[in-house]
Amino acid sequence: MKKIGEAILKHERFLVTSHVEPDGDAVGSVLGMWHALTALGKEVVACLADPVPLIYRFLPGSREVRNEIPLDFTPDVLIVLDCSELDRAGKIIDGIDLGSVLVINIDHHDSNTGFGGLSLVRENAATGELVYLLLREMGIPLTEALGKCLYTAILTDTGGFRYRNTTRRSLQIAAEIVGLGINPGEIAERACESYPLERFQILGKALRNLRVSCGGKVADFFVTQKMFNGSDVSPSIVEGFVNYPREINGVLVSVFIREKAEGRYRVSLRSKGDADVATVAMAFGGGGHRNAAGCVVEGELETVRKRVLNRVCEVIEKGQC
Ligand code: 5GP
Ligand code: MN
């Protein structure tokens, strides 16, 4: 952490990025870092391969996030947040000469490949928490705007301070941020209770195909492009759908399948307790954490479903769950 702090102070031009289809932790961490570096007088560009989901556009600085690296901008440091591997940042990486930048990797995945010249990887913490600890260690003045971004990162990554990555430390950091003057109830309303009606119309359709298997321990459901009247299934409209079946008593693993294109499905997996869904995702070329993982599987919907569910049930029966 000390080395990363020193490197940040020493350099001038920063590109800050995170993973494709960014979630609250990705957006909040990128913006938190953007605010801090801007306050230090650095030249900073925040850049994500996909747009900031509407629900996070209340965050200060969200309009500054670009979709492409400006042509006249050559960073000397690339800060990659919440990515287990560099490729998770998508097309942003293609526009960078990796031989001439210092890559700083700040992440919370057990499967992190350790890429980059400097890395800060800790499991069981939101990425936003790690950014906060780094900035606090560096003695950077923490503003309300920066606090809003990092609070949102931690709030969303811990499922509203409910998941097992909710720790004494995450709650303490959240309390410190509240001390900066932010209003936690207001942020929760914006980040968790401001979805468009369309989300619930789609959820209604999707829940009609909810199925429970593996002796009641697994629940799965899906959305197809047809449910969106043939248009692309917007990832941000269905973000977090996978969490709903976790709320069913006895369900250990929840699976949500979204049709990305014909014959191409994004599979999201969530689990309770010791159930390790990262191993399931990795078997299909994806990755993630023990309790939250994902992958892309190709094939016909029913086949994809069966292949994934068989694997999940196998893991449960082997006692790995
Ligand atoms: P989600 O279900 O929200 O898409 O993904 C849950 C978590 O699984 C993400 O935070 C990320 O850590 C991981 N994940 C999802 N998809 C992939 C993937 O294709 N590759 C890798 N390495 N990790 C993924
Ligand atoms: Mn993330």
Judge whether 121 and 105 are in contact, CB under 8 Å. yes
Q: Quick one: 67 and 175 in the same domain?
A: yes
pLDDT 10s digits, 303-319: 999 999 999 999 998 87
Q: Give the H or E element holding residue 206.
A: helix 197-207
Distance 79 CA to ligand 2 centre (A): 15
Atom of ligand 1 nearest to the CA of 267: 2
Q: What would the two tokens of residue 115 be?
A: 């890429």
- Which-ligand-closest: CA of 289? 1
Instruction: Say whether pLDDT at 321 is over 60.
Output: no
Whole-number Cα distances in Å, 107 to 7, 82, 86, 231: 17, 4, 11, 33
Q: Quick one: 185 and 243 in the same domain?
A: no
CATH number at residue 248: 3.10.310.30
SS3 259: strand
Residue with tokens 């030249």: 43
Going 11 to 16 to 19 to 25, the CA torsion angle's sign is: positive
Compute the distance between CA of residue 97 and CA of residue 104 in angstroms, rounded to an integer.
Answer: 14
The protein residue whose alpha carbon is closest to atom 6 in ligand 1 is: 293
Distance 143 CA to ligand 1 centre (A): 30
Least confidently predicted of 156-160, 251-255, 271-275:
271-275
CATH number at residue 49: 3.90.1640.10
Atom of ligand 1 nearest to the CA of 242: 2
Q: Quick one: 72 and 220 in the same domain?
A: no
Q: What per-residue confidence (pLDDT) applies to 49? A: 97
Average pLDDT over residues 114-138: 97
Q: What pTM, to 2 d.p., does this model score?
A: 0.93
The protein residue whose alpha carbon is closest to atom 16 in ligand 1 is: 294
Instruction: Say whether pLDDT at 320 is over 60.
Output: no
Q: Given 136, 168, 192, which residue is the final one in a domain?
A: 192
Q: Quick one: 139 and 184 in the same domain?
A: yes
Q: Given 192, 223, 253, which residue is the final one in a domain?
A: 192
Q: Quick one: 52 and 121 in the same domain?
A: yes
Q: Quick one: 233 and 303 in the same domain?
A: yes
pLDDT 10s digits, 55-74: 999 999 999 999 999 999 99
Q: What would the two tokens of residue 318 be?
A: 């082997």
Contacts of 206 (CB under 8 A, 6+ apart): 221, 222, 223, 227, 238, 241
Q: Given 135, 161, 192, which residue is the final one in a domain?
A: 192
Q: Quick one: 225 and 291 in the same domain?
A: yes
Average pLDDT over residues 153-181: 96
Q: Quick one: 263 and 179 in the same domain?
A: no
Q: What per-residue confidence (pLDDT) applies to 228? A: 79
Q: What per-residue confidence (pLDDT) applies to 266? A: 96
Which residue range forms the structural domain that includes residue 305? 197-317
Q: Quick one: 275 and 179 in the same domain?
A: no
CA dihedral 247, 234, 51, 59 (to 10 degrees): -40
Say if ligand 1 is within 6 A of residue 280 CB.
no
pLDDT 10s digits, 261-293: 999 999 999 999 888 999 999 999 999 989 999
Atom of ligand 1 nearest to the CA of 256: 2
pLDDT 10s digits, 207-235: 999 999 999 999 999 999 988 776 666 77
SS3 300: coil
What's the number of domains the chain is made of? 2
Compute the distance between CA of residue 121 and CA of residue 100 in angstroms, rounded to an integer.
Answer: 23
Q: Quick one: 236 and 111 in the same domain?
A: no
Average pLDDT over residues 94-102: 93
Q: Quick one: 224 and 168 in the same domain?
A: no
CB count in 10 Å sphere of residue 283: 14
Q: What per-residue confidence (pLDDT) applies to 23? A: 95
Do strands 292-298 and 287-288 pair parallel, antiparallel, or not at all (unpaired)? antiparallel
Average pLDDT over residues 130-138: 97
Residue 175 pLDDT grade (very low, low, confident, very high; cuts 50, 70, 90): very high
Q: Quick one: 134 and 164 in the same domain?
A: yes
